[in-house]
Structures are given as structure tokens and as C-alpha cells.
Chain A
Amino acid sequence: MEDKLIRLTVNGRDEAVVIRPLATLQDVLRDTLELTAVKSGCGQGGCGSCSVLVDGELRLSCLTLAERAEGAEVTTLEGLNETNAIVPLQQAFVENYAAQCGYCTAGMVVAAKALLDRNPAPSRDEIVEGLSGNLCRCTGFAPIVRAVQQAAQALSDTGEEAS
């Protein structure tokens, strides 16, 4: 088994990375590309802290083999701030105190983005469902759900994208 070179687009940039056999997308993002907003709370799909978008779809980078992300477009939380300005979805997390230790936050924001991209005006229950694969042990889910509600509201008020 040999290391391999794969190419993929991450946060809009073309990257070529060498991967170890069975390396996960999480390994590539965190260790090779140093996109450390991608967290690793369990390494087995249970916590959502490693959530990223692959070709616009929410996925768990810890369960995704890097080799199978070849050619894909990957977005991590860092990819939301192309211009360095904080985006409304992130701002809503700040204003609603939707983080304490912050460890779950990147995954939460990415999952919320995936939801709002698909469904710009989700009901409360749809938000709960949309974030159900992401665990938070500190904040309690209520402020997080409020943050997403506020972001959705801002989106409909301005007609802009949430993120």
C-alpha cells in the first residue's frame, strides 16, 4: 500500500495532497491543509464536530475516505469567510451566545449552512432535525436553534445568502 496524490478543491482553492492509505478527509483537512476548524470529537460519526460540505452536501469528514473525495469541492467553516467579513450566520451565533467552549461550533455552523442552503425558511422542528447529527455538551441547544432562526430571518429580510 502506497501513499497517493489526490487533487480536490477546498474552500475554492485547488489542492494536491499526498495521502496515506485509508487517510480520512478529516486527516487531510486538519493535518495536511491545517484547516483546524474541522474538529475531531469522536472519529466515528457520532458528534458532528467534523462536519463539512462535499459538493454542497453535509458530510462527516471523519467517515469519508480522502481517496473518495478526489475531485470534489469541499467547504469547511473557514470557507465561509472568503472576504474575511463575518457572515450573518456566524454573527447570529455570536449574538445568541450559541457557543461556550466552541468545540462543536464549526460543525454546527456548517450543518446550519447546509440546512439553510436547501431550506431558507426552516421551521423550528426542521432546524432541530437539520442539526440532529451535531452534539453540543456546553451550551444547550436552545441558543443554537435561536441563532439559526435569526439567520434565517435575516436571510428573508435582506434576500441575501445566509453565509
Chain B
Amino acid sequence: MPELLRPGSIDEAADLIARHGAAASVLAGGTSLMRETYPSDGGYLIGVDRLGLDKVVSHDGGWSVGAAVPLSVLREAVPIAALQAATREIGGPAVQNMATVGGNLFARAPFGDLAPALLALGARLVFATAGGETTQSIEDFYAGWADGAPPRAGLLTRIEIDAPTGASAYMKCARRRYSTPSVVTVAACVEKDGGTVSGARIALSGASAHPFRCAGAERAVIGSGLDEAAVTAAAAAAESAVEPQTDSVASEWYRRRMTGVFVRRVLAALA
């Protein structure tokens, strides 16, 4: 069984993570980590509950969200449509009270339903490492994943979200209405200049090894009026960009089909 350590400062936590390397796991809400069993001895769980990472600070340009903020708190604190929708789509109310924003960003497919919203909003992730603080765009963070697993990035301390300059939408395709794993999850944030799309971020989760921004779908809608042809092209681009797995939730075929359908629906909601 691993040992639970509960450091009292971010520096102390970063040191522990650096010192114990692969033997250390950060424990946030525990809704993923606590499900794992510990057949072998050893290892450390580094609790984040005493680090003061459970606050949302709102400032002029946006929000600074502590990594240990529970999803239900995020929903109350940050009034962005895509983000609020996402927090309702992750587990049931109990999970939403426990699971943290940070923890969800490390979830393995088909979980990871918050990430598309944060990708669409262009969020930045701030990590504490033994060498100091580093900031990374959320895309770069996912680009560093290998074999569906996150890199050892140190301690995620906060997520920086700028006030959106466009409209956002979020939809999750799943087998039941609530508390259910994703077939595919789609979020988009679209800026318009008159009737023309001047900027777009379209992100997906559930249907690939990790959440990602779909450049092909974004190209298809930028410069368009989100007309039928552009939306169809974006859906097709997303279908070819995903790399779905067959699992007990859905087949590869179904995930791919629903990717197109849900990209279409999300863009329709923003048209």
C-alpha cells in the first residue's frame, strides 16, 4: 500500500514529487486514483488538500482556477457556457463535488470531459516543479501525452482562463443522459466578425487517446458563415482526425460517426 503524504506548501509538494519520481502520485479528489487497487507495497500519494489550490480568483481578464477546485465549485464560479455544461457531464453530483478540475485533465480516455471546454477556451496550465513555476498551453500539455498517458509534469497548481471573446458550446454524446462515460465530447469557441467566423477553437475528447484541438475542423469554419458546407467539412475533418477505440462504451465505428454528428450539432448551436 502506498503512503499518504499531505504537504502543507506548494514548494514542499513539488519537492516530494521530484524526490519520489515515478513512485509518487498526486492525489486530488481521488475519484480516479482511489479506484485503483494497491496489490503491491510502496509508493506515495501526495495529497493536494492542504495547498490552498481550491480557490477560483476572478480578475479583469478572466479567471485563475486552482487545480484542486471541485467541478461543482467551478460551475458556480466561472460563468462560461461550455465550461458550465462540461461540469454537469462528469459523473453525478457526488463525483462533481469531489472530482477536481486538475484531476480531470489527467483522466484517461474515454474520460477527460472537461478538457475540450478548456481547449476551446485556450486555457493555460501552471505547474510547480522543483525548479520553479512553468506555464504551458493546454494543447502543448496534451501534445506531450504518450500511449494515452500523461507526462510527468510535476504539480499542476492552477488553470488560467481568459474571458472568452466569442461564443462557446459543449456537447457530450453518451449512452445515458447523466453520469456516463463519453462516446465523444465536443466543445467549440467561435469568434465572429459580422457574419463571418474570424477565429475558432474546436476540441474533442473520448474518441482519441487524449483530448485534442482539431485543426482541420477549425480551418473548415474560419472565414465561413458557419453555413451548411463549412459545417459539413468540419464534421468530416473531425471524423478523419479522431482515432477511436472500441470498448464497452462504444465501437470505433460508432465513435467516429458520432464525432461528425456532434461537431455538427455544436457548430449549429453557435451558428
Q: A44-B35, A64-B98, A68-B49 are in contact. Are A133 and B4 (CB under 8 A)?
A: no
User: Is there an interface contact between B93 and A130, defined as CB atoms closer than 8 Å?
Assistant: yes
| B91 in contact with A133 (CB, 8 Å) | yes
Query: Distance in Å from the Cβ of B35 to the closest Cβ of chain A?
Result: 4
Contacts of B94 in A (CB 8 A): 45, 48, 51, 58-60, 111, 133
Q: Closest Cβ of chain A: how far from B114's Cβ, in Å?
A: 17
Q: Is A133 a contact of B179 with CB atoms below 8 Å?
A: yes
Q: Nearest CB to that of B45 among chain A residues?
A: A22
Chain A residue with the shortest CB-CB distance to B41: A1
Q: Is the interface of A mostly helix, strand, loop or mixed?
A: mixed
| Chain A residue with the shortest CB-CB distance to B92 | A133
Interface residues of B in 32-88 (CB under 8 A from A): 34-35, 38, 45, 47, 49, 72, 88
Q: Give every chain B residue within 8 A of A57 (Cβ-Cβ).
A: 72, 97
- On chain B, the residues within 8 Å of A59 by CB distance are 94, 97-98
Q: Cα distance A128–B179 when bound, in Å?
A: 10
| B-contacting residues, A98-141, CB 8 Å | 111, 114-115, 128-134
Distance in Å from the Cβ of B170 to the closest Cβ of chain A?
16
Docked-complex contact A134 and B92, CB < 8 angstroms: yes
A55 — nearest CB in chain B belongs to which residue? B97
How far, in angstroms, from A134 to B178 measured CA to CA in the complex? 11
Whole-angstrom CA separation of A58 from B27 in the bound complex: 20
Closest B residue to A130 by beta carbon equals B93
A45 touching B178 by the CB < 8 A rule? no
Whole-angstrom distance between the alpha carbons of A59 and B99 in the complex? 10
CA distance A1 to B38 in the complex (A): 15
Any A CB within 8 A of the CB of B215 = no
Asked if A45 contacts B97 (CB within 8 A), the reply is no
What is the CA–CA distance of A67 and B45 in the complex, to the nearest angstrom?
13
A133 to B94, CA, bound (A): 7
Q: Please pick, from A22, A45, A51, the residue contacting B91 in the complex, using a CB distance under 8 A.
A: A45
Chain B window 187-223, contacts with chain A (Cβ cutoff 8 Å), 1 for yes, 0 for no: 0000000000000000000000000000000000000
| Interchain CB contact under 8 A, B93 and A68 | no
> Could you say which residues of chain B place their CB within 8 Å of the CB of A68?
47, 49
B225 in contact (CB, < 8 A):
no
In the complex, how many angstroms separate the beta carbon of B154 from the nearest chain A beta carbon?
22
B224-258 CB contacts (< 8 Å) to partner A: none
Say whether A65 contacts B4, CB under 8 Å.
yes
A63 at the interface (CB under 8 A from B): yes
A12 at the interface (CB under 8 A from B): no
Shortest A76–chain B CB gap in Å is 14
Which of A21, A44, A59, A63 gathers most chain B CB within 10 Å? A63
> Given the complex, which residues of B lie within 8 Å of A130, measured CB to CB?
93
A126 CA / B98 CA spacing, docked (Å): 19
Given A45-B35, A132-B178, A21 contacting B4 (CB threshold 8 A): yes
Give every chain B residue within 8 A of A1 (Cβ-Cβ).
Answer: 1, 3
Shortest Cβ distance from residue B247 to the other chain A in the assembled complex, whole angstroms? 16
Known: A45-B34, A63-B98. A132 touches B47 (CB 8 A): no
B32 nearest CB across to chain A (Å): 9
CB A72 to nearest CB in B, in angstroms, measures 12
Minimum CB–CB distance for A137 against chain B, Å: 14
> B1-32: which residues lie under 8 A (CB-CB) from chain A?
1-4, 6, 27, 29-31
- 13 A–B contact pairs at CB < 8 A? A21-B3, A21-B4, A22-B1, A22-B38, A22-B45, A45-B34, A57-B97, A58-B93, A63-B30, A63-B35, A64-B30, A132-B92, A133-B94
Residue positions of A touching B, CB distance < 8 A: 1, 21-22, 24, 44-45, 48, 51, 57-60, 62-65, 67-68, 111, 114-115, 128-134
Instruction: Give 9 nearest A-B pairs by CB, closest first.
Output: A133-B92, A132-B178, A132-B179, A44-B35, A132-B92, A63-B34, A58-B94, A57-B97, A60-B94
